[in-house]
Chain A
Amino acid sequence: PPQTPIRAAMTSIQMLRVDLTSSGDQPSTNLATYFKHCTVDPTQDVLKRLEMLGQVFSQRFGQAAGPHCVVNGRQRFTLGVGLYYKVMEAMLKSEEKRLSVQNFSKLLNHSTFHTSLLACALEVVMATYGESSFKNGGFNGGGGDTAETGVCFPWILDVFNLAAFDFYKLIESFIKAEPTLSKDIVKHLETCENLIMERIAWRTGSPLFDLLKQEHEGGAAEQVETPAS
């Protein structure tokens, strides 16, 4: 029978849990092999970063959704880590094929790459649970009827102190690396992209300005427009 929105959400949550619980919240053997092939093995940094970000995420999730949700926050984070490892492995496999390289030391020791990837994975988990949704009204999540709307995008960027542009850079590769994402979740990530491009990326201090300046100094043929105030 046709699925009601609630039934559809329950199904996608169930699929996410089954899919990610089986892969666990540790690096797979393949992923550990990529780590070992690095000139500098990133394993300890990855684990330390996850420990630190896990505490920040759970605490902020509790603040945003209510103290009774700290456990939910921890559960969301565990699922997010499972997706983070899964997508990372898929990305490295595709990069290995594309570049004929096995040593990803630079990328895997790039803190922003890891933080962005984890943020994107957590955004997918929260969107799957309906906690990060644009349906309840607008950019700031509006006054939705679920307590968790306080974690609507771009909440995760603030929690991880992550530049929107760095999150943006990851989205397309994330979608490409995880073909099992549902239509709704892809749509959600696309809306995040649009929000970033329309507003957030142009905030003061965004790395986008540096990039534009580099392009300009790099002698790009056409004159670069100064960013709108």
Chain B
Amino acid sequence: SHDYHFGLEEHEGISELFDCD
């Protein structure tokens, strides 16, 4: 119901964002 623009790629998740991949 919202129009938030998701920009993360498939290979970018919370693990990568916090350098825990």
Q: List chain A positions with a Cβ less than 8 A from chain B.
A: 91, 94-95, 98-99, 104, 106-107, 110, 112-113, 169-170, 172-173, 175-176, 181-183, 186-187, 189-190
Do the beta carbons of A91 and B14 come within 8 Å of each other?
yes
What residues on A are CB-neighbors of B2 within 8 Å?
A: 175, 181-183, 186-187
Interface of A is mostly: helix
- A94 with B13, Cβ < 8 A, contacts A172-B8, A176-B6, A183-B2 known: yes
Is the interface on chain B under 10, 10 to 19, 20 to 34, or 35 or more residues?
10 to 19
Partner of B13, one of A95, A113, A181: A95
Q: Mark B1-21, 1 if CB is under 8 A from A, else 0.
A: 110101110100111011011
Partner of A169, one of B1, B6, B10, B17: B17
Do the beta carbons of B15 and A95 come within 8 Å of each other?
yes
- A107 with B20, Cβ < 8 A, contacts A183-B1, A187-B2 known: yes
